[in-house]
Amino acid sequence: MNKENLNKIEKLIESFFYSEDDLNKKVIKASNEAIKNGGKRLRPLIMFEVYKAVAGNEYSEEIIAPFLAAIEMIHTFSLIHDDLPAMDNDRLRRGKPTTWVSHGEDMAILAGDMLSVQAFEIISKKMQETDDFTVLKRMSRAMYTLAKDTGAFGMIGGQCVDVEYSGKKMSEEVMKYTYALKTGALLRASFVIGGILAGANDKEVSLLEKAGAYVGEAFQIRDDYLDIVADEKELGKPTHSDEKNQKITYVNIVGIDESLRRVASLSENAKKCLSEVRGDMSSIIEIIDMMVNRTS
């Protein structure tokens, strides 16, 4: 993975932070801290690499920057709320106390809420400053994609089904639906938004969407596998969380060996899709390999 690009993304994300010097500094500190508290930055990294590959010489950091920050804000908001006692009741995230443990449930809820709005604030602000109609149209389509993949038919909808089926028998069909939304939606959006902003044609956007869907499912199955076999210290969060919350996973249904085969198959499907999209996709393929073979 390109550390130079990762460092650049880190700085770009932090450039959109609110300052912590007003009366509302407690909630801002909680949200800023949650983003800075480690994390692989997979979603903005994928978006950045796809954008760079497809855009080629037309690359513009100014256009992509707010979307990189926005998708990480949305992802962080989902983690803050996911850890709450009403959801997974986790006290540890990335080896550190979760937001509700550090700042209280009230501030954790508000911090998540704030990030979900801040994400679209920074995008719309940039759109107001943009005069190029073609760029504006791409940004509008990209913002719609992020909103759709965050809401009822995206990450939040998937989380809803996940909570509803906790402790209940879940069919493979329902489980795949949950995976596609809860984890897959934002990963899929990362691929698609990078392509849209770079001027990918409809066929390429469709291929990027499929690649993102494959990667999202593979990533979630790998996550379920690690929840069973990984060391808690290395993972940076409690293991056996699915078992504790009585959640049925792909690993529960088909076993470890078949799950790992499925992960490998999905990642290969994603790579095939990417091979039909313009630009050098080697950096994205490297990220995919890291995601599906990770140990934490």
**166-193 pLDDT, tens digit each:** 888 888 889 889 999 999 999 999 999 9
For residues 94-120, average pLDDT: 96
* Mean of the per-residue pLDDT values of the chain: 92
Residue 42 has pLDDT above 70, yes or no: yes
Q: Please give the C-alpha separations between residue 84 and each of 65, 99, 145, in angstroms, as whole numbers.
A: 30, 8, 27
Residue 226 has pLDDT above 70, yes or no: yes
Q: Would you say 46 and 187 are in contact if contact means Cβ atoms under 8 Å apart?
A: yes
pLDDT, position 274: 98
What proportion of the chain, given as a percentage, has pLDDT over 70?
93
Instruction: In whole angstroms, give the CA distance from residue 39 to residue 236.
Output: 10
Instruction: In whole angstroms, give the CA distance from residue 238 to residue 242.
Output: 10
Instruction: In whole angstroms, give the CA distance from residue 240 to residue 211.
Output: 29
pLDDT, position 240: 55
User: What are the residue boundaries of the structural domains of the chain, listed by start?
Assistant: 3-288
More confident residue, 228 or 20: 20
* Bridge partner residues of 96 (DSSP): 93
pTM, 2 dp? 0.91
Of the candidate CATH numbers 2.60.40.1730, 1.10.600.10, 3.30.70.20, 2.40.50.100, the domain formed by 3-288 belongs to: 1.10.600.10
Residues with Cβ within 8 Å of residue 261, at least 6 apart in sequence:
none
Least confident of 59-63, 113-117, 135-139, 226-230: 226-230
Q: Phi and psi at residue 237, in whole multiples of 5°?
A: -155, 165
For residues 142-146, average pLDDT: 99
What proportion of the chain, given as a percentage, has pLDDT over 90?
75
151, burial (CB in 10 Å: exposed 0-12, middle 13-18, buried 19+): middle
For residues 107-118, average pLDDT: 98
pLDDT, position 1: 57
Q: What is the DSSP string of 221-285?
A: HHHHHHHHHS-HHHHTS-SSHHHHTT---HHHHH-HHHHHHHHHHHHHHHHHHHTTSSS--HHHH
163, burial (CB in 10 Å: exposed 0-12, middle 13-18, buried 19+): middle
DSSP state of 114: H
Q: What tokens were used for 117?
A: 């709005």
